[in-house]
């Protein structure tokens, strides 16, 4: 594939949504040599059409209300965003603290306090899957059922 076609493909991908550098490289890799792909991706970054910072901020804004910081960090890492940049995006983009977000997620899903240890465990697993830490989960579910930590 000619470099111009590779560049056009990159622009089309970036027009659909922001991509991390690693995602864009992966998507273009089957359409050109490694050197050509690296050159096109570097050019997109130089023109500020691709930005890992912007991708991370947008990603956290779109998913932050539903997921905890642990899951967001893990997903950003999987998409090629370094830990420092991911942590900065999470700190900048998320409103309120982690406990408030976990409380809202729990309330939207359950709303009713667990009535036995099995239900408490089910609700705790749900919050854990959403990326909230054990401390946050215990704080949210504390007093809802007398479950020891």
Predicted confidence (pLDDT) per residue in 44-99, tens digit:
999 999 999 999 999 999 999 899 999 999 999 999 999 999 999 999 888 778 99
Predicted TM-score of the model (pTM): 0.84
pLDDT top residue among 115 and 131: 131
Does pLDDT of 149 surpass 90?
no
Q: What is the rounded average pLDDT of the residues 11-35?
A: 95
Residues 48, 16: Cα–Cα separation, whole Å:
15
Flag whether pLDDT at 145 surpasses 80: no
Query: What is d(CA 9, CA 3) in angstroms, rounded to the nearest whole number?
Result: 10
């Amino acid at each position: 594939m000619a470099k111009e076609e590779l560049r056009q493909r990159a622009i089309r991908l970036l027009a659909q949504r922001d991509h991390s550098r690693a995602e864009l490289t992966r998507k273009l890799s089957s359409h050109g040599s490694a050197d050509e792909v690296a050159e096109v991706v570097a050019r997109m970054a130089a023109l500020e059409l691709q930005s890992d910072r912007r991708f991370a901020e947008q990603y956290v804004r779109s998913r932050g209300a539903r997921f905890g910081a642990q899951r967001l960090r893990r997903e950003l890492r999987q998409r090629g965003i370094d830990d420092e940049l991911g942590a900065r995006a999470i700190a900048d983009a998320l409103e309120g603290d982690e406990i408030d977000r976990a409380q809202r997620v729990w309330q939207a899903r359950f709303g009713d306090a667990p009535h036995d240890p099995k239900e408490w465990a089910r609700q705790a697993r749900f919050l854990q899957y959403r990326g909230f830490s054990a401390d946050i989960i215990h704080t949210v579910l504390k007093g809802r059922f007398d479950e020891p930590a």
